[in-house]
Structures are given as structure tokens and as C-alpha cells.
Chain A
Amino acid sequence: LAFDNLRERLLLGGVAPRHVRRYLRELDEHLDDLTAQQRQGGYDGEDAAIRARARLGGDDELASAMLAQKRFRSWTARAPWAVFLFLPPIAALAFGMLVVGSVALVENISASCHLASIRRPYGSRHWRRILWRLAI
């Protein structure tokens, strides 16, 4: 809860989620140490928490420090053009391989059934037709 606003700003700024998670986790641990230090200094409850949060830094300062490091940004933030250029062909290729693999699997099972002299309930053309319908 302490870092909800910061999390949102970092994600909107394009920082990769895994870097955001790591940053916030370490900030949270640091805040625990600072709060304990304030308690040892005589502050209690809310006072200690407020003073600790102030020492950790404001959201602006903490967000700027992370956003300044461009290498922690996600690919979609760093090179959106690359994602739109490369993702569709890769997805199409993966889908094509899935269809071909499925057809090959059905053919294989069908051939095995035939070899074992088991009566095939449907021919391979039937299964191919079903797969084709599923694909489109």
C-alpha cells in the first residue's frame, strides 16, 4: 500500500514489471529498517512511519531515479516498433507450426491404429477437416 502510487507511475513510465517488483521490495525492506530506527530514536506508531517514509524519499524522487535508468524499461516501452514488427510474424509462424504438428500427430495416431489392425472410427481426412475448421 505504501508504494501503490509509485508502482503505477513506474509501470506507466515503461519500467519492466520485474524491475518494479524488485525495486519496491527493496524499498519496503529499507522502510522497515528506517521505521525501526525511528522507533529506537523514541518516535512511536504513526510518527515513526511518517518520518521513515520522508527519509526514504518522496514518490517524485523515487520514480525519477528509476525512470532515469532507461535500461530498466520493458521492450514495449523501449522499442514499440520492434514489437509490432516482429510479433505478428512470430505469432503466425507459431500458429502454423501448431497446426502442422497437430495434423502430424493425428496422422501418426491414425497410422498406428491401422498398423495394429484396430478399426479406425474416422479416417485421417475427417480429423484434418476438423482441425482445419478449428483453425479458421
Chain B
Amino acid sequence: MSETFSFMSGLPELAILRLLRDHEMYGYEIVQAIALRTHAVMSPGEGVIYPLLHGLEKDGALKSRRKTVSGRSRVYYSLTAKGAKRLSALSGRWSALNGAVEALMAGGALGVR
């Protein structure tokens, strides 16, 4: 892989895209789901998710609609076909990185003189 990527950039994006692959959600719901699934390891200020969501929407990876449920009006986000492609690409990168880190942590002979 020729592309250089920083370690944490793209991780919140990956989490959002993965959650929205299953069904549409609103911001608060997404934050709670991320905290639940990552055992609160990823827990920045909850409001910072909105610039990310708006950015992904601007890129065409997400679409949004305002919906009223139980008397509460909220903006629901869902994944687009472009977003699904982006999720697939990001998942591949993170799987490769995950494998690399595991191999690194496992240690063993380097095979380098």
C-alpha cells in the first residue's frame, strides 16, 4: 500500500460508516452506539461528531433527512452507495493496519541482519 495514513485519522469515520450500514441513525444514537461497542474507549466530546457527519454528507457518503419520532424532530443519517464503497476501502486499510500491529506486538525473529 503506497498511501500513507496516520494512525487515528479515519477511525471515527469508519465507525460512523459501519454503524450506518445497518440502518439510519441520528447523531446522539450514533455516539451512544460507538461508546457501547468500543466500551467507551473512543469517547471524545459528543458534539464533535456533527462536523464529521456534515463532511461525510457533503462528500456524498451519507444522506440526511429530518424525521419526527415520538414528537421529537431529529436529523437521521443513512449510508449512500458512495459511502458503502468508502466503508469498504476504509475497512480494508484498517484490517491491514490491525494485522500489522498484531504482527508487531507478537514479536519474534526479525530475519534482518
**B-binding residues in A (CB < 8 A):** 19, 22-23, 26-27, 29-30, 32-34, 55-58, 61-62, 65-66, 68-69, 71-72
Contact = CB atoms under 8 A, between A and B. Distances in A.
Contacts of A66: 50-51
B27 A30 contact: yes
B58 A71 contact: yes
A30 B55 contact: no
Contacts of A65: 45, 47-48, 50-52
A60 B21 CA distance: 31
How large, as a class, is the contact surface on chain B? 10 to 19
Chain A residues touching B, majority SS: helix
A65 B49 CA distance: 8
Interface of B: 26-28, 31, 44-48, 50-52, 54-55, 58, 72-75
A57 B48 contact: yes
Contact of A57 (B47, B54, B72): B47
A34 B28 contact: yes
Given A26-B27, A26-B75, A34-B28, A61 B51 contact: no
Contacts of A23: 50-51, 54
